[in-house]
Structure 1
């Protein structure tokens, strides 16, 4: 069921500062990863398969990315919208062993931590999901174009959510607690956000004024 209520969240000062400087950060089952203003890539040591850990330091990873997403795997996109997946992520090699270039072009992508699902959008706001992901084929096989137009998309247990160029919000029908589904259409949801993130029965977002909102799904 999709509720029609967004709650504005105002926190007391409970944030802990972490040393370093990043323009984009992502946390998932494969640890905390980020990119700095120069597109240099970093992995937070000690965070693989430990989402509650703040880690012990930043490890510089070879390569350049403008955006990165950590989930069951780690994917990122470069300044030229080239797509990469991190290979060799294991307990003995938590930072991985190298990047594999995946065919296609995306300006933003999102990886689920609870399912082998990756969604993304390209420079023209076309929407795609990766198909054919298996243990033997972690990079998948192909990109399936999804109808609609979004500038930002997110996939998680609460389903697939996105925002378009006008900051309108959309939920992908049929994906709530069903991430493996491509869904059956886009449902317009009241409100306006510039960026959104699908979590476990909760959706987070920020608007053009950087106000923070959550939406609880049941």
Structure 2
């Protein structure tokens, strides 16, 4: 099996489509989820260990056991297997009392968003409190007015989410000071299992069968974009993130690839 995986990775080195070229990234065994923002890359493994990439090496990030981590203008946030929310403060994870979330995203314009377990209600933490929180007190979260199974925000062009039928929606503007979205607009295209919005407004999605798509034509006046473009990959993908011209993809077999244009 290792020989087969190695062969597939060699093939990935030469995969070049739509100007994307992929190679094996610094290896993190049993990687489950990854997020990049503000020049930083963080990840969580299937065993609930959060890590941060520095150079060619992954380093353990705090002592908490987390299933999902996110980094962005509001800092580094995560949630554990019990759906408790955490923020990294002074190198240690601090519990954020006030709301349980099964997925969290810190990539917005200072605000933090996430999806609650069971109900799939989506919530937002205002930038003022998300950025300044240091582990003391309870935070009140604002509803984003739409049930979602996954949500991601960028600093420039709003928030994107997947509803309970895995259809894609965009809130073209979410006020970071009030967390009030300017409505949700349906974006036609393939059904996704996860969606990623980068700090600079790039949008990528992964379908349930592991295909990767990029949303093209996103501008300030057309924040829903114009069309989806498939990015061929040498293996099915389970998760991805994008920051500063680096597309990081986690394969369904647990390999991490780093793709650039």
Q: Report the TM range for the smaller structure's normalisation.
A: 0.7 to 0.9
Q: Which residue of 2 aligns with 1:49?
A: none
Q: Provide the TM-score with structure 2 as the length reference.
A: 0.71
Deviation (angstroms), 1:14 = 2.5
Structure 1 pair 36/115, CA: closer, same or farther in 2 (3 Å)?
same
Q: Residues 52-71 of structure 1: matches in 2 within 5 Å?
A: 55-71=91-107
Alignment check: 8 A CA contact 2:142 2:179 kept = no
Q: Are residue 15 (structure 1) and residue 58 (structure 2) matched?
A: yes
Please give the alpha-carbon distance, in whole angstroms, between the structure 2 residues aligned to 1:32 and 1:179: 30
SS of alignment partner, residue 129 of structure 2: coil
Report the counterpart of residue 184 of structure 2 in structure 1: 143
Checking the alignment, whether the CA contact within 8 Å between 1:109 and 1:118 is kept in structure 2 is: yes
Judge conservation of contact 1:129–1:146 (CA < 8 Å) in 2.
yes
Compared CA separation, residues 129 and 205, structure 1 to 2 (3 A): same
Is contact 1:8–1:214 with CA below 8 Å preserved after alignment? Answer: yes
Query: Which residue of the partner structure matches residue 74 of structure 1?
Result: 112
User: What corresponds to 1:51 in structure 2?
Assistant: none
Higher helix proportion, which one? 2
* Equivalent residue for 2:203, pick from 160, 175, 190: 160
Structure 1 window deviating more from structure 2 (136-145 vs 206-215): it is 136-145
**Stretches of 4+ moved more than 4 A in 1?**
90-96, 177-180
Q: Distance in 2 between matches of 1:37 and 1:107?
A: 16
Q: Which moved more, 1:150-159 or 1:10-19?
A: 10-19
In structure 2, distance between residues paired with 1:37 and 1:111 = 23
Higher relative contact order (CA 8 A, sep 6+): 2
TM-score by length of 1: 0.84
Partner in structure 1 of residue 50 of structure 2: none
Q: How far did 1:152 drift?
A: 0.9
Name the Cα RMSD after superposition: 2.6
Contact 1:158 1:202 (8 Å CA) reproduced: no
- Cα deviation for residue 97 of structure 1 reads 3.4
Aligned residue for 1:50? none
CA distance in 2, matches of 1:107, 1:123: 6
What is the aligned residue count? Answer: 207
